[in-house]
Structure 1
């Protein structure tokens, strides 16, 4: 499989170019292209002429991380972009991950090391064979005018999005954040790759559905599914922003006991209340007995107007620390908000389940 891929080497360092090319040839590759300036690189990326990019630590005084960002702007999101660099500083690794690299190889490297990274990057950035074949056959049905069959086929790909509580790509993304917090950078990169690859696949399936409905003359459904594809890309943009923010926290506060709590605070201040709530829930796995954390969760739920959940978390915060005055004040405020809403809307509403805590937490 590796020998069949098309490789792009992005560098203007002749020694590094020679070494990378010889290594790829040793792995059986024959389609190897070198891009030492951005003009040629942009054309190749936009035309989809490469399957894997190897990026040097700098090109014309542009840092490796910035090179990755430039590649991302002109290529499909899931293109495996592997940094190949002698720079092993933690800051550089995190910057490259924030930029969207799909692998990080330290020079000097062995042929086996590059092979392992290329394989991991490509496989994690690519849907599995069944999904790839399903996508291909679905598009073939559109091309042949079998629009109803195409819609059924694309729907199979999208079933896991429709049936899951959240986009499965987000689960991989959250795993990536957890791996980052544990300094398991290789695993974090693979998890982020999978998240992007899944979102790419869902977006393509939605675009396929749109084309099929267009073929049937249903322009309303056509526009609806185009919007769904755009929504998937918007989700990925949001995830990328959260990843960069989280890495910024890790870099600026390396000793933070719970970086997810800090992420939640930043997202809440930015008005992303649902993102903040997700971050706080991840924070609970790090510091489950932190009364301040549950107070922060309650604030986020309050801003999101989920007053029942907010009330539950203020109560949990006070059970952990009865002297926490901000929690007590927020609890009083939320009770008043709930009473006000009940007066304005007397129809009984389904209550949110109470938060449960284990015996250790109660002690």
Structure 2
């Protein structure tokens, strides 16, 4: 065993935190075109935005034709990532980073307009964002909420159908948005859509008392009182202290709609 007694002065303490991987990387795939004597090989280069996660794995997302990250994300081990991808630092700093920042600014302007009740200006900004990245979660939620707030239910239906298919819409970072969207669907009398939407959310987050509570509100609007009680019971199984669910149950009991 090595001797750990110090016979020389300690060296300066090295910085423990090294910079995480973040930027644009390319991946090359060899494809074969044609058959027999006409067959030729072609190298196809694709670009991805990559960032290192807390656990050391790397999350990669393809760039779309507008040079912003869009579409499904994939998580790779660092070894696999470094084996398959090559850094493109100049492309990231000169092209992709400015595009990403501009997209964020556009969405932020849309958010500000929507909070002020300036729905047409909000719609324009969110629409510009969606044209750059049609799968951007914040832009789609913002656009959908703007349509609901001004009663444009046909347009809201299109956004609803897009959001239901986007798994990223139900990630924890977007939780306040998907809750707000579901509540607005219900308030806009889009009851069936609200139920479909919450059912999709439950597939991805089944231990969320707020989801069960929100479904209970929808079932109450449908006058399906047994289902309302069932959803509230599930919410209280997860969080027995949830005040809204307890008040709702007490209200139903006072009206004879739930067993005392």
TM-score range, shorter chain: 0.3 to 0.5
Q: TM-score, normalised by structure 2?
A: 0.36
Bigger share in helix: 1
Bigger share in strand: 2
